[in-house]
Chain A
Amino acid sequence: MKQAIYGIILFIFLALPPVVDLAESIMAIHMHAQMPLIGIAGMLMAPYLQQKFPRFFEKWNENGVPGIVLFLIVFIYWVIPRAMDDALASGAVEVFKFFSWAFLIGVPLRLSWPKLTKAWQYIVLLVVAVSYSIMAVLYLFSPDQLCNNYLIVDQRILGWSFLLIVFVIILYILQDLFIDKSAYEAE
């Protein structure tokens, strides 16, 4: 319950007009800070929603796969260059951005992840890494301005930040595969 309140506070804070303006004025902050923070707000609200509607999640997302597929689809939708422009141009898309990042990305991710088998978790991480790599290459090397609302230099910075995240994901997968964690855990 306490977490859900923090989630709601974070969500409202992010939705404050000056915060929105500031976050959206820089492309990389828009993509890699504002949107994920809305997702985190959703993740904080997730356990409360699960308590509130236990049957729903148990029934329809038992193995976590439908939830994680929902997460992946909406997550990938938001890397389309146009989606970001649309969010700036249209109030409806902006509202959908807040709704979808909180409830179609944050919530299903937190509620589905623990239910997934290890193999599925790797698949999800790889899909994210691959799509982010594609976006990194696109933003770093495209001679065209992909988002009408941002400068090419913003686009380059965003490309590097995509690449950085891919690097971190790969690092995580490697350490997960090759480090025997039990060796470091206290008896």
Chain B
Amino acid sequence: MFKLKRQWISLTVVILFGFALFFIGTDGFTAFTEETARTNQLVEEQPSLPQVTLEDTFEREYDFSEFEGKYVLMTFFYSSCSTVCPILEQNVANIYEEVPAKYLGEDIVFLSVSFDPERDTPEVLDKYRTYFGSDGEEWRMARVADEQELDFLLDEFGVIAIPDDEGEFSHNVAFYLVNPDGYLEDVMDFEDVDGATNKVLHALESEG
């Protein structure tokens, strides 16, 4: 009897340890993949945008202060991508079309940043943007030419892009909403266009 009791004690200790392990390892059972953990953390921390130089399709160069006082809906892509990026940018286009014209350029700017600056020159991006109805002004496509700055930006947003053998990148995808003060406010599922549109419209309306 006494022996059996000890087995229960050690079993309880083991189970408690297991519970703690899973609890810590998954941020309290909320994040079973790194991607969820990263998104949760970004939303919680709301990092500010780092100082990097963007080069857009009109070959203008500026940093994020260009967008001060405006919401920015950001995505990361590269134009030679044949898998998820076209879907991602098409989904951006869907949101873009839903936003009333009075807000566009005034209260919100769409910004698609390429993480493949070597191939995505302003000329290439200028062609690419036309496929999705981006006007280059209210919806800009830009590259970060400086490699160090690019790495810094990707790191800040938790974007991991791994080049594969076929000239493609494997990368994580999301919509990033930056608020008028230059802080990352929300990271949204890129497949849930309606949900993201609602959030964007809600943010714009509450801003006034």
Asked if residues B170 and A82 are in contact (CB atoms below 8 Å), the reply is: no
Q: Which of B21-29, B42-50, B58-66, B179-187 is found at the contact surface with chain A? A: B21-29
B4-27 contacts to A, CB under 8 A, are 6-7, 9-11, 13-15, 17-18, 21-22, 25-26
- Shortest C-beta distance, B49 to chain A (Å), equals 21
Known A-B contacts A74-B21, A145-B170, A152-B170; A82 and B11 likewise in contact (beta carbons under 8 Å): no
For window 127-180 of B, CB contacts with A under 8 Å fall at 160, 162, 164, 170-172
Q: Which residue of A lies closest to B31 (CB)?
A: A82
**A161 contacts B by Cβ under 8 Å:** no
Nearest residue (CB) in B for A84 is B34
Query: CB of B82 within 8 A of chain A?
Result: no
Query: Hey, which chain A residues are within 8 Å of B162, CB to CB?
Result: 149-151
Q: What's the Cα separation between A77 and B18 when bound, in Å?
A: 8
Q: Are B22 and A66 in contact (CB under 8 A)?
A: no
Contact B14 A82 (CB under 8 A): no
Question: How far is it, in angstroms, between the C-alpha of A149 and the C-alpha of B171 when the chains are bound?
Answer: 9
Which chain A residues in 86-115 approach chain B with CB under 8 Å?
86, 89
Min CB distance, A94 to chain B, in Å?
13
A57 to chain B, nearest CB (A): 10
Task: Check if B81 is an interface residue, CB within 8 A of chain A.
Answer: no
Q: What residue in chain A is nearest B35 (Cβ atoms)?
A: A148
CA distance A147 to B160 in the complex (A): 10
- Measured CB to CB, the closest approach of chain A to B58, in angstroms, equals 33
A47 touches B (CB below 8 Å): no
Q: Decide yes or no whether B124 CB sits under 8 A from chain A.
A: no
Across-interface contacts of A85 in B (CB, < 8 A): 33-34
| Bound-state Cα–Cα, A85 to B26, Å | 12
Question: What total of A-B pairs shows CB separation below 8 Å?
Answer: 82
Interface mask (A135-150 → B, CB under 8 Å = 1, otherwise 0) = 0000000001111111
Chain B residues near A77: list those with CB within 8 A.
18, 21-22, 25
B6, B10, B17, B170: the one contacting A73 at CB < 8 Å is B17
Interface size class of A (residues with CB under 8 A): 20 to 34
- Give the chain A neighbours of B172 by CB distance below 8 A: 145, 148
- Tier of interface size on chain B: 20 to 34
Bound complex: CA A82 to CA B21 (Å): 13
Q: Which of B7, B9, B25 is in CB contact (< 8 Å) with A86?
A: B25
Q: Which chain B positions have C-beta within 8 A of A70?
A: 14, 17-18
A148 touches B7 (CB 8 A): no
Contact across chains for B7 and A62 when beta carbons are under 8 A apart: yes
Q: How far is the CB of B88 from chain A (nearest CB, A)?
A: 13
Chain A residues packing against B (C-beta within 8 Å) = 59-63, 65-66, 69-70, 73-74, 77, 80-83, 85-86, 89, 144-153
Interface residues of chain B, those whose CB is within 8 Å of chain A, are 3, 6-7, 9-11, 13-15, 17-18, 21-22, 25-26, 31-38, 160, 162, 164, 170-172
**Contacts A/B (CB < 8 Å), 22 sampled:** A59-B6, A60-B7, A61-B7, A62-B3, A62-B6, A66-B7, A66-B11, A66-B13, A69-B14, A74-B21, A77-B18, A77-B25, A82-B26, A83-B25, A85-B34, A86-B25, A144-B35, A147-B34, A148-B33, A148-B38, A150-B170, A151-B162
Besides A60-B7, A66-B11, A73-B14, 14 other A-B contacts (C-beta < 8 A): A60-B9, A62-B3, A65-B11, A66-B7, A70-B18, A73-B22, A80-B25, A82-B25, A85-B33, A85-B34, A144-B35, A148-B38, A149-B162, A150-B170
Q: 7 tightest A-B contacts by CB? A: A73-B18, A85-B34, A66-B10, A60-B10, A151-B170, A70-B14, A66-B11
